[in-house]
Amino acid sequence: MITMDNVTMKYPTGTVALKDVNIKINKGEFVFVVGSSGSGKTTFIELLLKELTPTKGKIEVAGYNYNKIRRRQIPKVRRKIGVVFQNFRLLKDRTVYENVAFAQRVIETPSRYIRRQVPAMLTIVGLADRYKSYPRELSGGEQQRVAIARALVNKPDIILADEPTGNLDPKNSWEIMNLLEDINAKGTTVVVVTHNKEIVNAMKKRVITLKKGVVISDVEKGGYIDED
Amino acid sequence: MITMDNVTMKYPTGTVALKDVNIKINKGEFVFVVGSSGSGKTTFIELLLKELTPTKGKIEVAGYNYNKIRRRQIPKVRRKIGVVFQNFRLLKDRTVYENVAFAQRVIETPSRYIRRQVPAMLTIVGLADRYKSYPRELSGGEQQRVAIARALVNKPDIILADEPTGNLDPKNSWEIMNLLEDINAKGTTVVVVTHNKEIVNAMKKRVITLKKGVVISDVEKGGYIDED
Amino acid sequence: MRISSIWYSFRQGLKNIRRNLLFSLASIGTIVSCLFLFGVFYVVVVNFKSAMKSLENSISISVFFEEDADIELLSAQIRTREEVDTFDYISAEEAWIKYSNDTYDNPEEARAAFGDDNPLAKSASFSITLKDVSKQAEFVRFLEGLTGVRKVKSSQFTADTISSLNLFVGYASLGIIFILLLVSVFLISNTVTIGITVRKEEIKIMKLIGATNFFVRAPFIVEGVVIGLIGSAIPLVLVYYAYDAVLNYVVGRLSLVTKLFEFVAIGDVFKFLIPVTLAIGVGIGFLGSIITTRKHLRV
Amino acid sequence: MRISSIWYSFRQGLKNIRRNLLFSLASIGTIVSCLFLFGVFYVVVVNFKSAMKSLENSISISVFFEEDADIELLSAQIRTREEVDTFDYISAEEAWIKYSNDTYDNPEEARAAFGDDNPLAKSASFSITLKDVSKQAEFVRFLEGLTGVRKVKSSQFTADTISSLNLFVGYASLGIIFILLLVSVFLISNTVTIGITVRKEEIKIMKLIGATNFFVRAPFIVEGVVIGLIGSAIPLVLVYYAYDAVLNYVVGRLSLVTKLFEFVAIGDVFKFLIPVTLAIGVGIGFLGSIITTRKHLRV
Ligand SMILES: Nc1ncnc2c1ncn2[C@@H]1O[C@H](COP(=O)(O)OP(=O)(O)OP(=O)(O)O)[C@@H](O)[C@H]1O
Ligand SMILES: Nc1ncnc2c1ncn2[C@@H]1O[C@H](COP(=O)(O)OP(=O)(O)OP(=O)(O)O)[C@@H](O)[C@H]1O
Ligand SMILES: [Mg+2]
Ligand SMILES: [Mg+2]
């Protein structure tokens, strides 16, 4: 489902955020990506979304080779991916409802489905009563849950979640993690970037650890590796 | 140092974010404020900073009664406070150095001190080599550390930190918490909003727990209360 | 592209106008200002041209004949020329009466003194005005070339002054209208560009979620066209009523002005103004949003 | 406020211009456009007025006398009037020569035929031009009231046409200049407002950190003034060179135009244009940034 072949990402400023990364994630896998601040996790996610183009190496997602993909095809891959951004990236002049509905409009879901699925998704993340609010009227955690709802509403093939519980309390965090696990059980590939040691250690999933842009460990049923 | 007397905050949208809150925090205290997503923690911080005006009740910070304070005096209180915002609020068209230096310029620190203290502060949060970067060129955790540096550089009387480790890995989180504890030991009043159960439980400080805008618990040397 | 997506784009475009009210108002304000300026200036120029026209008509050429001239033939040769606007025959008697009227305090007495001996006996003439005074010199040469013409009298100085003034005003107003159009296009696309650039983060987010370029762009285009439409309708209405008001004021108070030239009818002015104004407003709204979004769509 | 803070505000203002380049360019572009338009229009109006002046000077009044008139006295009475621009005495002989020259093909022969019997014996006259043709009717009445004046000949129609044209142009250009100024002020403050509103989040952050209003505002003011300065200097330079170029072109190619009226000297135009342009550009930059920041400082 996801392949990175010898991928290096050097930003125009000169920072090498990822270095010779080789990763293969199969369809249906649940993977944690961990690593200290600035180790390249967000860069990893942004490369998979083709928000960034690597300076070197080959990336393949859902059968599309990013080195050869045509500009017009990029939306097609992205529609197979549900993404939770570290800084949420909600559309600030649209309500909670419209933010989630937007993901469905993009894939041209008929309106009658949108009207049913969006409230259902908002109920799952506990924001059913806030559908009319604008992002600026929400707490940090509430915004994060809208972002999660938006990523999940289309039932995508792949979920990329960058620190999806950074602004959530333990109870909410666990609910989201369980939700992701359920979705994964139904066949969706899930990649979660997180700093939450407790969750990583408890869930016993594959854990990829980055350090200064290098994969220093990639273990099935692994745990959170503290830096020395 | 900080007093809230019967404070209620109702947003124009109708949401009651805080309800009849009575809190007194003495000079030199270290207080955790916890509670689930949307329980009113950020509202609490914003009221102390006079970013918001409560719909009811009296707030006093550093000897200033917010109900009676003159507009011209507000900057004076704020200069006594170092604040880490949940969403960082860095000045996006200024470099890391300038963001931190700005806090010093505001209190008219002579340039020779700025040139010494800013790099020192950046070294403490581990960003000495990123001083020329703009916020958009930083990872989430790096931005958060710039926000922390800005809050601490003036050695303020009060520190308000809203989720200061939400984007940090456990190691960095602990470093920041130890830093805050050191500063507190030197007499600074510290208020930390956090979801980090491990840290709250380990540090054995006063813990104020909010639930739907109401203070449901306020314990010296307390722990994180999981919602049932 | 489903029907529902098109419908969505349309609604969203309208919503955007409300939600980015500051920019919408700024854009509309800019378009209104520019096109209002353009309209006012155009109205003034058109009227000025018409005023120049009536001034030109006060400039006439007199043609005097040889004694044996075939006046009928000459008249036919001259009046059929297309440069000719008005053509009159003034007999020697008329000329003498006019001259004596102009010159003497008691013209009858003077004329009686001269009796039948008309001192201007040879002064029968044609009085001609031209459609375009700048052609006067050339036309005078044509007249002088005709057999039977003894003398052509014209005030070349006045004709030159007026025609050069005309030329100057023509160039100047063409120049200003051109500059005005250029400036309008620049200012309007400026505001459109800023309005969209401010939302480039939003555009990026939409693209990252998987929206096609068309899907992102359509609401912006709707927005641009609607803003352009509003922005060009307002100055049209303003110019219409302002012109009407000025006309009424002038006709009422400055009768001196209206005695001498006719204001151009509102209908004639708007025949040109409406299409041009709408084309600029809506055109830039449309093209501006397409071009500016393009830049931000490369995500 | 320490010296270092003032110095900081100054540097920061300049930095902001570079860092918000899109807005800086948009603002400068807007100011340049508006003031350029204003400059061009002003130059045209000034020159047009000067052209009208020379047209007026081609309109003269002729005054004929009673036989027993004291021409010296009349001359003294008339030429000292302040309305008078030029004043000439034309003797009966000159008038007859001019008339015969104008009328006959072979004037000498004609004059010989009349011999000493000047048919226009009573036609000695003053030829007068006025500083302001619109005063003609009144001045003619004054002349007619003088003892010794037999007949005053003037083309009231041409004078009226020209003076009403003058009036019309006067009102129209005053109106357009006023509207142009209004529009410029609106458009420029529009851009300044948007440029600052986009940064209202930044302003809020500064205030929350404890900055005083002055501290937040000072760099914006520096920015506004510098942008205003650049934005008003450019159109001044442009108008200067454009005017120069047009002058050279016209003098070279359209000698017809220059034969008839003098272009207004660049110096005279700029005496007015420089202070007004700078005042608008810098003034709005300054006031605009003060007023717009005020709104966002209430944090
Ligand atoms: N746009 C950018 N331009 C330049 N450098 C960047 C940019 N984005 C990130 N970096 C740098 O690349 C490195 C990796 O950043 P990245 O955001 O991938 O880290 P991360 O693992 O997500 O960290 P965090 O846990 O703090 O979010 C960091 O050193 C960061 O400063
Ligand atoms: N500007 C606003 N307008 C309207 N409602 C708001 C606004 N800001 C916050 N709220 C609401 O007030 C309540 C408390 O918000 P607050 O941001 O204080 O929560 P929080 O405890 O900080 O939550 P989190 O842990 O998710 O950051 C929430 O229900 C939120 O939706
Ligand atoms: Mg990250
Ligand atoms: Mg919060």
Are C35 and C281 in contact by the 8 Å Cβ rule? The answer is yes
Nearest-CA residue for atom 7 of ligand 1: B137
Task: Establish whether residue B82 lines the binding site of ligand 2, counting it when its CB lies within 6 angstroms of any ligand atom.
Answer: no
Spatial neighbors of D297 by CB under 8 A, at least 6 apart, are: D203, D207, D213, D216, D217
DSSP bridge partners of C125: C64, C90
What pLDDT sits at residue D102? 64
**pLDDT per position as a tens digit, D148-166:** 888 787 776 667 777 777 7
DSSP state of B130: G
Question: How close A72 comes to chain C (CA, Å)?
Answer: 8
The CA distance from A66 to the nearest CA of chain C, in Å, is 13
Q: Which residues of B touch A224 (CB under 8 A)?
A: 170
A77-89 pLDDT per residue, tens: 999 999 999 999 9
E strands of D109-174, at which residues? 125-130, 149-153
Task: Output the six-digit token pair for D272.
Answer: 């007015």
Nearest to C65 by CA among C127, C143, C148, C146: C148
CB-CB contact of B54 with B9 (8 Å): yes
- Give the pLDDT of residue D1: 65
Q: Are D119 and C115 in contact (CB under 8 A)?
A: no
Please write the tens of the pLDDT for every residue from A45-65.
999 999 999 999 999 999 999
Reading phi first (left if > 0) and then psi (alpha if -120 to 50, else beta), residue A154 is in alpha
Cα–Cα distance between A147 and A138 in angstroms, integer?
Answer: 12
Q: How confident is the model at residue D120 (pLDDT cuts 50, 70, 90)?
A: low
User: What is the model's pLDDT at position C157?
Assistant: 65
pLDDT band for D230, please (50, 70, 90 cuts): very high
Q: Cα-atom radius of gyration of chain D, to the nearest Å?
A: 31
Name the residue of B138, B148, B167, B175 whose CB sits within 8 Å of the most ligand 1 atoms, as the mutation to test its pocket. Answer: B138
Q: What is the pLDDT of residue C3?
A: 83
Q: Write down the pLDDT at residue D125.
A: 81
Note whether A touches B: 3 CB pairs or more under 8 A.
yes
The rounded Å distance from CA A93 to ligand 4 centre is 20
**Percent of chain D beyond pLDDT 90?**
27
Percent of chain D scored above 70 by pLDDT?
89
- Is residue D295 scored above 70 in pLDDT? yes
CA distance A190 to A27: 9
B104-107's contacts with Cβ under 8 Å and 24+ in sequence apart are B104/B153, B104/B154, B105/D5, B105/D8, B105/D215, B106/B75, B106/B79, B106/D206, B106/D209, B106/D210, B106/D211, B106/D212, B106/D215, B107/B79, B107/B154, B107/D210
Calpha distance D140→D153 (Å, rounded) = 8
Please name which of D29, D193, D184, D230 lies closest in space to residue C185, comparing C-alpha atoms: D29
Q: In 10 A of CB A177, how many CB atoms?
A: 23
Interchain contact, B110 vs D4, CB within 8 Å? yes
Q: Do A169 and B11 touch (CB under 8 A)?
A: no
| C-alpha distance from residue B65 to each of B47, B111, C194, D117 (Å) | 12, 33, 43, 112
pLDDT tier at D104, thresholds 50, 70, 90: low
Index of the ligand 2 atom closest to the CA of residue B13: 4
Of A76, A78, A110, the CB nearest to C209: A78
CA atoms within 13 A on the CB side of A122: 22
Read off the pLDDT of residues B51-107 as tens digits, 9 standing for 90 and up.
999 999 999 999 999 999 999 999 999 999 999 999 999 999 999 999 999 999 999
Residues from chain D contacting residue B51 (CB–CB below 8 Å): 208, 299
- Which residue of chain A is at minimal alpha-carbon distance from C297? A71
Residue A208 clears pLDDT 70, i.e. is over it: yes
Q: Which residues of B touch A141 (CB under 8 A)?
A: 36-38
Kindly state the DSSP code that residue B26 receives in the 8-state scheme. Answer: -
Q: Considering CB atoms only, which of C5, C19, C201 is closest to A108? A: C5
pLDDT number for residue D75: 85
Counting as low any pLDDT under 70, the low residues of chain C are 1, 99, 102-105, 117-123, 156-158, 161, 253-261
Q: Which residues of D61-76 are buried (b: 16+ CB within 10 A; e: fewer)?
A: bbbbbeeebeeeebee
Between D137 and C157, the higher pLDDT residue: D137
Q: Between B150 and D74, where is the model more confident?
A: B150
Token duo for residue B203: 């540090």
Is A42 close to B140, i.e. CB distance below 8 A? Answer: yes
The yes-or-no verdict on residue D258 having pLDDT over 70 is no
More confidently predicted of C253 and A29: A29
Average pLDDT over residues D250-268: 71
Q: Which of D1, D19, D211 sits opposite B75 (nearest CB)?
A: D211
Mean pLDDT of A102-128: 95
Higher-scoring residue by pLDDT: D84, B34:
B34
Query: Structure pTM?
Result: 0.86
User: A190 C-alpha to center of ligand 1: Å?
Assistant: 22
Per-residue model confidence (pLDDT) at position C150: 81
pLDDT at position C259: 58
In the predicted model, what is the mean pLDDT of residues A129-144?
Answer: 96
CB-count burial class (<10 Å; 0-12, 13-18, 19+) for A139 = buried
Contact B145, B180 (CB under 8 A): no
Task: Tell me the pLDDT of chain A averaged across its residues.
Answer: 96
The pLDDT assigned to C253 comes to 67
pLDDT at C119: 65
Cβ D256 vs Cβ C167: under 8 Å: yes
Task: Quote the tokens at residue B10.
Answer: 């109702």
How far apart CA D180 and CA B68 sit, in angstroms, is: 48
Per-residue pLDDT, D78: 85
